[in-house]
Amino acid sequence: MSTTTGQPELDTFPKLYARNAAQRPERPAIRRKDRGIWQTWSWAQSWEIVRALAHAFAGLGVGRGDKVAIVGSNRPAMYWAIAAAQTLRAVPVPVYADAVADEMAYVLENADVKIAVVQDQEQVDKILSMADRLPLLTHVVYDEERGLEDYDRARLSPVAALIAQGREALAKDPEAGRRIDASVAAGRGDDASIILYTSGTTGRSKGVVMSAGGSVAAASDTVAFDHLNDRDEVLAYLPLAWVGDHYLNYAQAIVAGFCMACPESPDTAQQDLREIGPTFYFAPPRVFESLLTRVMIRMEDAGALKKKMFHHYIAVAKQWGEKILDGESVPLGARLSYRLGEWLVYGPLKNTLGFTRIRTAYTAGEAIGAELFSFYRSLGINLKQLYGQTEAFLYVTCQKDGEVRSDAVGPAAPNVSIRLTEDGEVQFRSPGRFVEYYKDADKTRETLTEDGFVKTGDAGFFDKDGQLRIIDRAKDVGKLKSGAMFAPKYIENKLKFFPNIKEAVAFGDARDFATVMLNIDLASVGAWAERNNVSYASYQELAGHPRVYEMIEEHVDEVNRSLAAEPMMAAAQIARFLILHKELDADDGELTRTQKVRRGFIAERYAPLVTALYDGSNNADIRTEVTFEDGRKGAIAANVRIVDMKRQASQEKAA
Amino acid sequence: MSGADAIKPGETLLSVDNVSLAFGGVRAITEVSFDIRKSEIRAIIGPNGAGKTSMLNVINGFYHPNEGRISFAGATRARMKPYEAATQGIARTFQNVALFKGMTTLDNIMAGRTLKMNRGFFWQLLRQGPALAEEIEHRKFCEEIIDFLEIEAIRKTPVGKLPYGLQKRVELGRALAMEPTLLLLDEPMAGMNLEEKEDMSRFIIDVNQHYGTTIALIEHDMGVVMDLSDRIVVLEYGRKIADGTPAEVKADQKVIDAYLGVSH
């Protein structure tokens, strides 16, 4: 299973840490901006600290198999604590630092945590407040002294003191050093390496146990895949408890020997990104989206010349940038023009964003709009998509350089096998596959198949190029009466990529055809109205405006065209649509607090509209109660027009 | 400042003795006496127009009392200029933020170090040798404050662009840069939302515990005052009507009347 060729014995992170300290002692391992200045620790220094801390942890009674909670933001001390626990063959359990006390207590209790390493007084308070629920917890170690001056020290120590204490002991007693070495050497690939708790969107969170060998093998595969080496650098700004941070930063850094930079504070991440200039970068689509929005807003305020130059060269990039990035042949004139654009626009822009040195960037987690994705790629940023899960120790699929698209997530990652069940559920087996859910054999059995595949719960299919496309959660995927697949989120996402469409709700499960309700985006459609001299007095009036309907109809038509191009989706083209007279709102219970549409609730609340979508009528009356921000209630009545769409012939039939 | 350093926590750092202040015919403060002990958090409260800000202005030498005396760190004085108060270790923040709006957070806090700079104007203009070494020292101190107040993200942001709550925090930072013995805070939480108030309270407690700074504060939010302060002075129409621990003050009938109103 291990792909660390030639050195099969390097199957745990502490062994690799020691290797880095021996092979590249002077190379930077970790950085943090402190008091405004970047501080750097080399691999040799870092490993020395990890050993000292491990010795001190052992003194607190931590041994093989014990659980060590890690609660805090991305700080060197937190990463050292993870490595120190692993050095003792104990199991680190990172916990989301913003979890409320009760959630945190659940995880610490469930994981049988023996000591907790936390960032500051806030976390100490949380843990002390629920000490009675945690009889196994014997000690709390903290990084920041502030506010803790008056606390009882019996079960509380600063991490700096532990490091100093361990250092002194190791210097005095060679035997102590040998004990640490022995513990590292005794580490085995099937040791539990870490327990990562899932965020628990469905019920209580589960502890996903990873093996050391599996983790190292998975990280080695992707390090080779993306050609990462010890000259690379990342900014570790993702939550510690999330598989993304542990994998992309911690695991890959130790395997490849590159440097992990910790932001000064969570608020400064954007500035720190610019100063560090990482070569490998990950962000969810909404980060890329908000960065682009910020750039565009700032360009609106720029002078006429700059604005013109910006838009001209962005257009050049749009036409040629991706082709140049993918190494396709491009006319000389275009190449020169792009070069000039790099000098005048793309370079400075990438510098502002901190993207100058990026060799590989990934995005994942949700669908990313084609325009947004292309924008970054056209600037020469090698942005790719991956599809992953905590249970896989991240990668299930990832895109190869030069074979990148926005609507798919790539073929199986190295050494990963993927299969689709008859219902379209994606199942995988991977080197980093989790061992079990901690203390939950039932759930483990539910998730793992007998032949060792993991059920992802996501529905997807492979397209012509062999790239996987994720459609929706498997349980949300329905069928039209004809038996054809109906994937509401897939259709909704396609619609929402149009800036004019803010929300979309698709219906069609067990119906004859698919229909959608849409929300226009007031900012975007409002700006369009201003440019086109369309006057309106209210959201409702704008939403019902014939010209807005015309414009949206074009968008829906375009979505139908793209659905028709996909054999599995062609039947679920949108037959009828309407534009809602009010914005869907979390205050009215129509959206969740994280802005996801609550399809079932909306179907009930707007039952007359749903009926009208399917009974052939051209308009429908609706009266809905709304809640104002101050809690008062009112009612909005409206007559909503319904538009019939022409459905495209499926391209497969046409071909 | 050796005078202030010699005083142990719990002993009187500043005492106001029978102070009266009048502007023409308007009596702002009438015969008020109280003391501030070293390392405590002392609140001055009272309804609008009770003379709280005037009291702070008297303490830091901006106003000169018509009668009475003030002794700080063992030295009694009748008249003192604000910069003398500053040299002696009294720093303050203002009810309406008084920062240099066009300067960055860092520069504003560095401005608080002015009195600690030994090198003259020309040395600083040269920015070489000892002047540079001194600047680095001061910068380090200011960075500690920035870290302490968790304002790293706005280090280089012009203060005028910051939201109000953050400006208040920068102002506190500038006052801390003076390494004050006594810190006067004039409504540090005015106009803040609940979360900002909680943050500010935390910082005030931390300043008090971490730097051992004695703090006198004026605040309207009673919840905050009762939580933060060790002792409270209550003023009404320029007179002291109560003085004691939060529990004592809360139970005092005169205070209840002053705040809730009473039929005369």
- Per-residue pLDDT reduced to its tens digit, A507-535: 999 999 999 999 998 888 988 898 889 99
Residues of B in contact with A150 (CB under 8 A): 209
Q: Which residue of A has its CA nearest to B141?
A: A35
The domain spans of chain A are 13-267, 285-356+358-473, 477-654
Residues of B in contact with A146 (CB under 8 A): 148, 206, 210
CB-defined contacts A:B, below 8 A: 34
pLDDT tens, position by position, A415-425: 999 999 988 89
Rounded Cα gap, residues A435 and A198, in angstroms? 14
Task: Looking at the complex, report in whole angstroms how far the Cα of residue A38 sits from the nearest Cα belonging to chain B.
Answer: 13
CB burial string A66-98: b at 16+ within 10 A, e below: bbbbbbbbbbbbbbbbbbbbbbbbbbbbbbbbe
Residues A432, A437, A439, A441, CA torsion sign: negative
Contact between B152 and A146 using a beta-carbon 8 Å cutoff: no
Task: Point out the residue among A35, A265, A268 whose CB comes nearest to the CB of B143.
Answer: A35
Residues of B in contact with A35 (CB under 8 A): 140, 143-144, 146-147
Asked if B107 is an interface residue toward chain A (Cβ–Cβ < 8 A), one would say no
How far apart, in Å, are the Cα atoms of B59 and each of B50, B84, B245? 16, 11, 21
Residue A522 host element (H or E): helix A522-531
Contact between A147 and B153 using a beta-carbon 8 Å cutoff: no
Asked if B206 is an interface residue toward chain A (Cβ–Cβ < 8 A), one would say yes
Task: Point out the residue among A146, A149, A268 whose CB comes nearest to the CB of B152.
Answer: A268
Rounded Cα gap, residues B99 and A259, in angstroms? 40
Task: Please report, to the nearest 10 degrees, the dihedral formed by the alpha carbons of residues A339, A341, A346, A349 taken in order.
Answer: 140
Orientation angle between helical segments A174-186 and A13-23, nearest 10 degrees:
120
Q: Is B205 exposed, middle or buried (0-12, 13-18, 19+ CB in 10 A)?
A: middle
Contact between A264 and B152 using a beta-carbon 8 Å cutoff: yes
Contact between A149 and B146 using a beta-carbon 8 Å cutoff: no
The answer to whether residue B216 is domain-embedded is yes
The answer to whether residue B95 is domain-embedded is no
Preferred mutation among A32, A33, A34, A35 to probe B, highest tally of B CBs within 10 A: A35
Contact between A149 and B155 using a beta-carbon 8 Å cutoff: no
Rounded Cα gap, residues A269 and A275, in angstroms? 10
Token pair in block for residue A590: 């129509």
In the block, tokens 């020309």 appear at B122
- Residues with Cβ within 8 Å of A204's Cβ and at least 6 positions away in sequence, in order, are A106
In the block, tokens 């500051």 appear at A120
Q: Which of B129, B145, B178 is the last residue of a domain?
A: B178
pLDDT the model gives residue A185: 95
Identity of the residue numbered A133: R
Q: Which residue of A has its CA nearest to B154?
A: A268
**Which of the pair, B257 or A253, is modelled with greater confidence?**
A253
Residues of A with CB under 8 A from a CB of B: 33-37, 146-147, 149-150, 264-265, 267-268, 271
Rounded Cα gap, residues B17 and B14, in angstroms? 10
Task: Looking at the complex, report in whole angstroms how far the Cα of residue B244 sits from the nearest Cα belonging to chain A.
Answer: 24
Rounded Cα gap, residues B185 and B167, in angstroms? 14
Whether A202 shows a pLDDT value over 90: the answer reads no
pLDDT tens, position by position, B156-186: 999 999 988 899 999 999 999 999 999 999 9
Nearest to B191 by CA among B219, B210, B170: B219
Q: Is A208 exposed, middle or buried (0-12, 13-18, 19+ CB in 10 A)?
A: buried
Contact between A268 and B206 using a beta-carbon 8 Å cutoff: no
Rounded Cα gap, residues A522 and A585, in angstroms? 13
Task: Looking at the complex, report in whole angstroms how far the Cα of residue A35 sits from the nearest Cα belonging to chain B.
Answer: 5
**Total structural domains within chain B:** 2
Rounded Cα gap, residues A254 and A241, in angstroms? 17
pLDDT tens, position by position, B51-100: 999 999 999 888 989 998 889 888 887 677 888 888 889 999 988 888 99
Over residues A65-72, the mean pLDDT reads 96
A82 three-class SS: helix
Query: CA triplet B250, B251, B254: central angle to 5 degrees?
Result: 90
The mean pLDDT value of chain B amounts to: 88
Total length of chain A: 655
| Percent of chain B topping pLDDT 90 | 52
The pLDDT-based confidence of A221 (bands split at 50, 70, 90) is very high
Q: Do domains A285-356+358-473 and A477-654 have the same CATH topology?
A: no
Whether A45 shows a pLDDT value over 90: the answer reads yes
Tell me: do B116 and B242 sit in the same domain: no
Rounded Cα gap, residues B154 and B167, in angstroms? 10
Task: Looking at the complex, report in whole angstroms how far the Cα of residue B147 sits from the nearest Cα belonging to chain A.
Answer: 6
CATH number at residue B26: 3.40.50.300
Task: Point out the residue among B150, B202, B209 whose CB comes nearest to the CB of A265.
Answer: B150
Whether A546 shows a pLDDT value over 50: the answer reads yes
How far apart, in Å, are the Cα atoms of B163 and each of A58, A61, A600, B168, B195? 47, 48, 41, 9, 14
Asked if B81 is an interface residue toward chain A (Cβ–Cβ < 8 A), one would say no
In the block, tokens 């000690």 appear at A139
Query: CA triplet A290, A311, A401: central angle to 5 degrees?
Result: 60
The mean pLDDT value of chain A amounts to: 91
**Which of the pair, A633 or B226, is modelled with greater confidence?**
B226
Residues of A in contact with B148 (CB under 8 A): 146
- Residues with Cβ within 8 Å of A202's Cβ and at least 6 positions away in sequence, in order, are none
Contact between B210 and A149 using a beta-carbon 8 Å cutoff: yes
Rounded Cα gap, residues B201 and A429, in angstroms? 52
Q: Which residue of B has its CA nearest to A33?
A: B152
Token pair in block for residue B251: 């139970």
Task: Point out the residue among B140, B146, B210 whose CB comes nearest to the CB of A146.
Answer: B210
Residues of B in contact with A148 (CB under 8 A): none
Token pair in block for residue B137: 């020292």
What superfamily does domain A285-356+358-473 belong to in CATH? ANL, N-terminal domain (3.40.50.12780)
**Which of the pair, A631 or B48, is modelled with greater confidence?**
B48
Q: Does domain A477-654 have CATH number 3.30.300.30?
A: yes
Which long-range CB contacts under 8 A does A153-161 form with residues at least 24 apart? A156/A124, A157/A60, A159/A53, A159/A77, A159/A80, A159/A81, A159/A117
Residues of A in contact with B205 (CB under 8 A): 147
Over residues A434-452, the mean pLDDT reads 93
Q: What is the number of other CB atoms lying within 10 angstroms of the CB of residue B1?
A: 12
Q: What is the number of other CB atoms lying within 10 angstroms of the CB of residue B239?
A: 16
Q: Which of B153, B178, B203 is the last residue of a domain?
A: B178
Can you say whether residue A401 is alpha, beta or left, with left for phi > 0 and alpha for psi between -120 and 50 degrees? beta
Task: Looking at the complex, report in whole angstroms how far the Cα of residue A131 sits from the nearest Cα belonging to chain B.
Answer: 23
Task: Looking at the complex, report in whole angstroms how far the Cα of residue A265 sits from the nearest Cα belonging to chain B.
Answer: 7
Contact between A265 and B152 using a beta-carbon 8 Å cutoff: yes
B15 three-class SS: strand
Whether A351 shows a pLDDT value over 90: the answer reads yes
Token pair in block for residue A168: 């002194």
Residues of B in contact with A143 (CB under 8 A): none
Token pair in block for residue A361: 């960037």
Q: What is the number of other CB atoms lying within 10 angstroms of the CB of residue A217?
A: 24
- Parallel, antiparallel, or unpaired: how do β-strands B26-37 and A619-627 relate? unpaired
pLDDT the model gives residue A594: 62
Nearest to A467 by CA among A569, A396, A516: A396
Contact between B155 and A36 using a beta-carbon 8 Å cutoff: yes
Residues B157, B163, B169, B175, CA torsion sign: positive
pLDDT tens, position by position, A448-505: 999 999 999 899 999 888 999 998 888 888 889 998 889 898 899 889 888 889 899 9
Whether A654 shows a pLDDT value over 60: the answer reads no
Tell me: do B226 and B161 sit in the same domain: no
pLDDT the model gives residue A370: 84
**Which of the pair, A630 or B219, is modelled with greater confidence?**
B219
A416 three-class SS: coil
Over residues B38-42, the mean pLDDT reads 95
Tell me: do B106 and B160 sit in the same domain: yes
The answer to whether residue B94 is domain-embedded is no
pLDDT tens, position by position, B145-164: 999 999 999 999 999 999 88
In the block, tokens 């605040």 appear at B219
Q: Which residue of B has its CA nearest to A147?
A: B206
In the block, tokens 């920062």 appear at B99
The pLDDT-based confidence of B1 (bands split at 50, 70, 90) is very low
The answer to whether residue B184 is domain-embedded is yes
Contact B182, B72 (CB under 8 A): yes
Contact between A36 and B144 using a beta-carbon 8 Å cutoff: no
| Percent of chain A topping pLDDT 70 | 96
Q: Which residue of A has its CA nearest to B147?
A: A35
- Parallel, antiparallel, or unpaired: how do β-strands A67-71 and A113-118 relate? parallel
State the architecture of A13-267 in CATH terms.
3-Layer(aba) Sandwich (3.40)
| Percent of chain A topping pLDDT 90 | 70
Q: Which residue of A has its CA nearest to B203?
A: A147
Rounded Cα gap, residues B175 and A560, in angstroms? 64
Asked if B195 is an interface residue toward chain A (Cβ–Cβ < 8 A), one would say no
Q: How far is CA B261 from the centre of its chain?
A: 29
Supply the range of the domain harboring residue B55.
1-89+180-264
pTM: 0.84
pLDDT tens, position by position, B192-203: 888 889 889 999
First to last CA, chain A: 44
Whether A21 shows a pLDDT value over 70: the answer reads yes
Rounded Cα gap, residues A458 and A304, in angstroms? 48
Q: What is the number of other CB atoms lying within 10 angstroms of the CB of residue A241?
A: 25
Preferred mutation among B141, B148, B152, B169 to probe A, highest tally of A CBs within 10 A: B152
Radius of gyration of chain A (CA): 27
Rounded Cα gap, residues A239 and A253, in angstroms? 16
Whether A5 shows a pLDDT value over 50: the answer reads no
Q: Is B5 exposed, middle or buried (0-12, 13-18, 19+ CB in 10 A)?
A: exposed
Least confident window among A37-41, A96-100, A429-433, B211-215 = A96-100
Asked if B147 is an interface residue toward chain A (Cβ–Cβ < 8 A), one would say yes
Contact between A146 and B144 using a beta-carbon 8 Å cutoff: no
Listed in order, strand segments (DSSP E) in A35-100 are 37-42, 67-71, 91-95
Token pair in block for residue B18: 């029978």
Task: Looking at the complex, report in whole angstroms how far the Cα of residue B143 sits from the nearest Cα belonging to chain A.
Answer: 5
Task: Point out the residue among A35, A146, A267 whose CB comes nearest to the CB of B153.
Answer: A267
Task: Looking at the complex, report in whole angstroms how far the Cα of residue B180 sits from the nearest Cα belonging to chain A.
Answer: 19
Token pair in block for residue B50: 């009770």
Residues of A in contact with B155 (CB under 8 A): 36
Task: Looking at the complex, report in whole angstroms how far the Cα of residue B85 sits from the nearest Cα belonging to chain A.
Answer: 29
How far apart, in Å, are the Cα atoms of A578 and each of A80, A548, A601, B94, B224? 56, 11, 18, 56, 52
Tell me: do B79 and B208 sit in the same domain: yes
Preferred mutation among A146, A150, A275 to probe B, highest tally of B CBs within 10 A: A146
Token pair in block for residue A559: 């979505």
pLDDT the model gives residue A478: 87
Identity of the residue numbered A491: I
Q: Which of residues 164-183 of B touch A (CB under 8 A)?
A: none
Least confident window among A8-12, A112-116, B92-96 = A8-12
Rounded Cα gap, residues A371 and B165, in angstroms? 38
Contact between A265 and B153 using a beta-carbon 8 Å cutoff: yes
**Which of the pair, A464 or A71, is modelled with greater confidence?**
A71
pLDDT tens, position by position, A255-276: 999 999 999 998 899 899 999 9
Rounded Cα gap, residues A284 and A385, in angstroms? 10
